[in-house]
Homo-oligomer: A and B are copies of this chain.
């Protein structure tokens, strides 16, 4: 199966789009043949729905299941909507039980019944086990095809058993050692298995204290542990320590990627895994909520300005300069916010050191406030020739940058405590604060001292 680079991907995409536009089906097929399912998935994500349909019609049905696994959720929904029921059943049937569990929740009930009906009993039971856990838990992430051995047997026996058993499940890098009650008592790395003397016993070379997860561990904690301890795979056990399955790093990488996507996307009020070519009306609706919230906060800031209509009427230079104070506060605050949100997510900023972080950020905000206040005062002096206006904008700047540091530390910690997603809500909350304080401090000082 050919594996391709991003550049080749773009080339493939260009050829496919050209082939669709000219109705050149043989060329379309020629590009698709032999592409890895993950690369076809990339193409499905990169073309608008009409072209997506044309490509999908030429995809080898054998790899449709794998493509459905790889595409973004929005694109998968689109494809599933377009496929007839039989095609879905056939596509899904080729997949591993654990992968079927990923797709099943997106399907209509009658198709689910049909797919379950087509499976043998053992696979159906496995599927049930995975489906009984939420997608975002260790149980939902795990594969159930574990290979277990007993601790008292020799390496020789293990090797003979494995040869009789035949091919091991994908990404197997260790065997699980269980007792009579199916309780996990250790793991046996394949790399230790192959280098050990054959007359030694499993318990002599097994890892007796592997990192393990209970089925309800949130997937983010699983990802954290994999990253922290450089794990490749890890067992999942129930509350009594019985082995349920195993989690492999390739699934954890997807969790890490989703988390990272979430923190970027949420800050712009977007949900991840969207289809870049979702219908315009749906996309506009999804984004509208966020814009509505922002409109509200912008109106709040305008209400503050509205209190100073008279002041501005007397000195229009205030209207010219006021966005600068607000904007600098927003930018400085966003820097602090970004550091704090990341620190909280990584576990390096907790209630144990929040006060020290706050102290440092206030000092940084104050220092940068003073520096840029001086610059802005000089600019103002040069522009409007008004010493006192320069002094007032400088003071407003220092106030707003200190407040922005305070807001940047306190808001994400407080929002988190209140149960909100800091990545989603902190940004709007912060700019509201920095706009309001920016306008209020500058116009307020001007109202008191200038006009």
The chain A residues found within 8 Å of chain B, CB to CB, are 1, 3, 5-6, 9-10, 13-14, 17, 36, 38-39, 42, 45-48, 159, 162-163, 165-169, 171-173, 190-198, 209, 211, 221, 224-232, 248-250, 252-254, 256-257, 259-261, 263-265, 267-270, 274, 276-277, 280-281, 283-284, 287-288, 290-292, 294-295, 298-299, 301-302, 305-306, 309, 312-313, 316-324, 326-328, 331-332, 334-335, 337-339, 342-343, 346-353, 356-357, 360, 363-364, 367-368, 371-372, 375-376, 379, 383, 431, 435
Q: Give 15 A-B contacts (CB < 8 Å), ordered by A residue.
A: A13-B353, A45-B346, A159-B194, A173-B191, A190-B191, A252-B253, A259-B260, A260-B263, A268-B338, A277-B357, A284-B367, A291-B368, A291-B372, A295-B372, A323-B323
> Chain B nearest CB: distance from A383 CB in Å?
8
User: Taking A159-B194, A191-B172, A356-B277 as contacts, is the C-beta distance between A375 and B295 under 8 angstroms?
Assistant: yes
Chain B residues, Cβ within 8 Å of A435? 323, 327
B257 A163 Cβ-Cβ under 8 A: no
Output the residue of A261, A276, A277, A367 with the most chain B CB within 10 A. Answer: A276
> Chain B nearest CB: distance from A318 CB in Å?
8
A312 B319 Cβ-Cβ under 8 A: yes
Chain B residues, Cβ within 8 Å of A267? 264, 338
> Chain B nearest CB: distance from A162 CB in Å?
5
Report copies per complex: 2
> Chain B nearest CB: distance from A176 CB in Å?
14
User: Taking A195-B162, A276-B357, A368-B291 as contacts, is the C-beta distance between A320 and B338 under 8 angstroms?
Assistant: no
Chain B residues, Cβ within 8 Å of A351? 10
Chain B residues, Cβ within 8 Å of A162? 194-195
> Chain B nearest CB: distance from A312 CB in Å?
5
Top 3 closest A-B pairs, CB basis?
A: A260-B260, A319-B319, A230-B250
B288 A371 Cβ-Cβ under 8 A: yes
Not counting A10-B347, A159-B194, A167-B192, a sample of 14 additional A-B residue pairs whose C-beta atoms are within 8 angstroms of each other reads A6-B224, A36-B229, A46-B348, A163-B195, A168-B191, A173-B173, A190-B191, A256-B260, A277-B356, A277-B360, A280-B363, A288-B372, A292-B372, A323-B435
> Chain B nearest CB: distance from A67 CB in Å?
12
> Chain B nearest CB: distance from A3 CB in Å?
5
- Cα distance A318–B313 in the bound complex, in angstroms: 11
- Which of B292, B309, B332 lies in contact with A287, CB distance below 8 A? B332
A225 B294 Cβ-Cβ under 8 A: no
Chain B residues, Cβ within 8 Å of A290? 331, 335
B302 A228 Cβ-Cβ under 8 A: no
